[in-house]
Chain A
Amino acid sequence: MSATSSDVLQHAPADVPQLTKPGLAGRGPAVAKIGLAAAVVALAAGFLIFNGLRSASVYYLTVSELQAKGPAAYQQPARVAGVVRPGSIQRLSGGLAVRFVLEDQSGAMPVEYRGVVPDIFGDHTEVVVEGRYTESGVFVAKTLLAKCPSRFEAEQ
């Protein structure tokens, strides 16, 4: 193999002893304790992740997928992506609320949203709404995200 032992000694800082202890057999009790501590950290993190996913994940659907679920989707928290139908935007109560139709190739649904509308929201904008689908067929959104501002590329 490559490096000779004299190389190793030449290059190692003087304060590091170059002892190599034998394999697992020679390991002290500290190693076991530290292994246990590491396992505790890993388990705790795993639990946090599992718990977080269980309580905080929502469906991410297109308009037609949501509608295909039918009544099963009513009042379930969901995140829906689609495109704003041109000409469908109605601004209500002085701009603090908006109604529009969100559509994709095969579905369309009205969306109601109260809150600040992102700068790039408009006809044909790709948006993601988060909220609940209601029995009346209207999606009541708590958040409205326009296409991620990190992508400034022109659509060709």
Chain B
Amino acid sequence: MLPLSSLGFLALQLALPVAMYAVVAGPLALRVRSMPLLLSARNGVLAVAALLTLVSATLVHAFVTHDFGVRYVAEQSSRDMPLQYIITAFYGGQAGSLLYWAWTLSLLSSAVVVLSWRSARPLMPYVIAVLMGVETFFLVVLNFVSNPLERLPFTPADGRGLNPLLKDPGMFVHPPLLLAGYMSWTVPYAFAMAALLSGRLWNEWLIVVRRWALLAFTILGAGLLMGSWWAYHVLGWGGYWGWDPVENAALMPWLTGTAFLHSIMVQERRGMLKVWNLGLAIATFALAIFGTFVVRSGILTSVHSFAVSAIGPFFFGFLALTLIASLALLFYRLPLLRDEQEFDSLVSRETAFLVNNLLLVALTFAVFWGTIYPLISEAVRNVKMTVGPPYYNQVAGPLLFALLILMGIAPLMAWRRASLGNLARSLRWPAAAALSGTMLAALAGALKPGALAGILAAVFVAATVALEFWRGIAVRRRLAKEPAAVALTRLVARNRRRYGGYIVHLAIVLIALGVIGSSFFQQQREVTLAPGERAQLGPYTIQYLGLSEYRTAEARLIRAELIAERDGKEVAQLRPERQFHKNWEQQPTTRVAIETLLPRLEDLYVVLVGWEETADGYHASLHLFVNPAVSLIWLGGLVFLVGTTITLWPQPQPARAVLRVPAALRRMAGSEA
């Protein structure tokens, strides 16, 4: 009997021609004005989703039944691997992660053709073509270069097992979120290209795309936060962000995507920045593909680029083709893209958005330049140079400061022309709050100029957001005579976009404060202690009690027992571990001990580095950190999700006029020259 994976193998092959069919059938339907053909293209999208769901299901089945005849299963799992790690094994390797990308894209594409069918029917033929065009690329790679269901000529008795670094709850969440985040920027790109291809370049595509862009922003943002959380809790170097090429690659599309979400408001309200918005949609997609590619190719992590994996040229080719074709199309449509209005005043909401965009793009450029600097310096000067965290901190610090200040001022600025007098009056209270907050921080001992500037900016933003809420509530209380709590709920519920956005701004404030606290005021030291010995770090005395050994079914654990005291009182017990997993004894993993201590909001963070047997017992080498304010980052992450959820939640709308099918079809057909 054929194994089930062969069925998946076939489905993967079949998905390719179906996706290609949809690429052709969509635009063709427009040309020959055939609604049935358009519907068949849409069904093609749904069929690709069904086929790839089947492919993914057979891969999961192969993992569950330990079918080591499938090469990918043999490489990524073993018989003694607990069932829950199958999820991580699925996308732990190259072929599986590409399948995950293609599969989630097919699901999201189905959601797009179903949910946006009515609101953007005239664009749909091209949206389908672009979405399935991207899908086709991934299916080509999956079928011909990196096939997760490829069978080995023999069936090994057991698999290699999963890398223990992947055996962590954090790994369940952040890689799939990051990959899905990259993937979901395909939708805004598809709408942008559809607008360009069809010549329907007014606000129609923007209004539909906002929600999809917001979704991508949310998923990628959550992925970045979860990735930082994982790095902090698992990797054991005391930090959460290292400006590693892989992190940078994920940050860049999020930055340009953030710029896009802000600048489309300017086009919506004022009909300006049209070319810029299309450019941002294209750039964000290109950066997302670059991110997917960087993670998998190793182009930036090796000293010399010959270590690039087999899929490297495919991704590079795809990226180059996408960029050239998109920009050529944008250029071709320039005559249709003249802005309807122009800037009226330097002091206005739209100018603030423009500067916000410039800062975000400059930051992206700085990160991009630093990330590819080794390649550039080698090409230009024939010597490979590289930059580390000092470069990024030096460049990003001032830009982020400027962004925060702008984030504080912009919501109080009027569209078109803000009166300076009014603006100054509105800014009085936030400015006062920011100054007192900074003073308090200085009195508490945060005496570093960079940190104080950051705190000033962060408190300023928080105060303007509070002011906006307070004003909104005051108006409702006065006009609708509502109690404060009701006024607040209704205010947010009826203006989800605006107040959800403010809540996201608050999340950024919390994250900024966490970053400032932990990067300016981290304390650390490395010590070797005999049992009973103590070490001092900041206000804490840490006593090492001894070492113990445990065994579980999967691993041998070495654990150090520690007690932390402050002013003679015990504040925490810490048990950092090293774990030696079966089959991976040469690669022990660290379990960091982290205790968040209130009221100072500091993390005590202890890593067990090593140990040595001596006459008086086991000496332990420890890396001790005091990380202030890191928990604010995770709190900010939660607030970020609350804010984006409010913004994404459908606003109950008064009965909407629905375009009738024949009219829509006429228009659709009429828009083709």
| CB contact between B341 and one of A21, A42, A45, A55 (< 8 Å): that residue | A21
> Cβ of B303 and Cβ of A62 under 8 Å apart?
yes
| CB contact between A28 and one of B336, B344, B395, B623 (< 8 Å): that residue | B344
In the complex, whether B528 has a CB less than 8 A from a CB of chain A is yes
- B372-418 residues with Cβ-Cβ distance < 8 A to A are 373-374, 377, 383-388, 390-392, 394-395, 398-399
> Cβ of B623 and Cβ of A1 under 8 Å apart?
no
In the complex, whether A41 has a CB less than 8 A from a CB of chain B is yes
> Cβ of B342 and Cβ of A96 under 8 Å apart?
no
| Most chain B CB within a 10 A radius of its CB, from A12, A28, A56 | A56
Q: Which A residue sits closest to B267, measured CB to CB?
A: A16
B267 CB to closest chain A CB, in angstroms?
9
Chain A residues closer than 8 Å to B623, beta-carbon distance: 115-116
Q: Which B residue sits closest to A149, measured CB to CB?
A: B165
| CB contact between A49 and one of B200, B302, B355, B366 (< 8 Å): that residue | B366
In the complex, whether A120 has a CB less than 8 A from a CB of chain B is yes
| CB contact between A151 and one of B271, B301, B383, B588 (< 8 Å): that residue | B301
In the complex, whether A138 has a CB less than 8 A from a CB of chain B is no
> Cβ of A60 and Cβ of B621 under 8 Å apart?
no
- Say yes or no: A20-B338 contact (C-beta < 8 A), given A34-B346, A52-B395: yes
| CB contact between A3 and one of B199, B301, B377, B383 (< 8 Å): that residue | B199
> Cβ of B388 and Cβ of A95 under 8 Å apart?
no
Q: Which A residue sits closest to B162, measured CB to CB?
A: A152
In the complex, whether B589 has a CB less than 8 A from a CB of chain A is yes
> Cβ of B387 and Cβ of A2 under 8 Å apart?
no
In the complex, whether A117 has a CB less than 8 A from a CB of chain B is yes
- A interface, how many residues as a size bin? 35 or more
> Cβ of B612 and Cβ of A20 under 8 Å apart?
no
> Cβ of B301 and Cβ of A148 under 8 Å apart?
yes
Chain A residues closer than 8 Å to B236, beta-carbon distance: 116, 119
In the complex, whether B491 has a CB less than 8 A from a CB of chain A is no
> Cβ of A41 and Cβ of B362 under 8 Å apart?
yes
> Cβ of B528 and Cβ of A34 under 8 Å apart?
no
Chain A residues closer than 8 Å to B673, beta-carbon distance: 1-2
> Cβ of A147 and Cβ of B301 under 8 Å apart?
yes
Chain A residues closer than 8 Å to B351, beta-carbon distance: 34, 37
A-B contact number at CB 8 A: 210
- B interface, how many residues as a size bin? 35 or more
Q: How far is the CA of A116 from the CA of B388 in the complex (A)?
A: 18
> Cβ of B386 and Cβ of A51 under 8 Å apart?
no
Q: How far is the CA of A16 from the CA of B339 in the complex (A)?
A: 12
| CB contact between B342 and one of A31, A130, A147 (< 8 Å): that residue | A31
> Cβ of A7 and Cβ of B346 under 8 Å apart?
no
B502 CB to closest chain A CB, in angstroms?
22
Interface flags for B351-374 (1: CB within 8 Å of A; 0: not) read 100110011001101100110011
In the complex, whether B437 has a CB less than 8 A from a CB of chain A is no
Interface flags for B640-673 (1: CB within 8 Å of A; 0: not) read 0000000000000000000000000001001111
Q: How far is the CA of A67 from the CA of B81 in the complex (A)?
A: 45
Chain A residues closer than 8 Å to B399, beta-carbon distance: 45, 48
- A12-33 residues with Cβ-Cβ distance < 8 A to B are 12-13, 15-21, 27-28, 30-31, 33
Chain B residues closer than 8 Å to A19, beta-carbon distance: 340-341
- A and B contact pairs by CB, cutoff 8 A, 27 listed: A2-B198, A2-B199, A12-B202, A13-B203, A30-B345, A38-B354, A42-B358, A52-B394, A55-B394, A56-B388, A57-B377, A59-B386, A60-B386, A61-B303, A61-B384, A81-B302, A81-B303, A93-B528, A94-B612, A96-B621, A114-B526, A116-B526, A117-B610, A147-B301, A151-B296, A153-B93, A153-B309
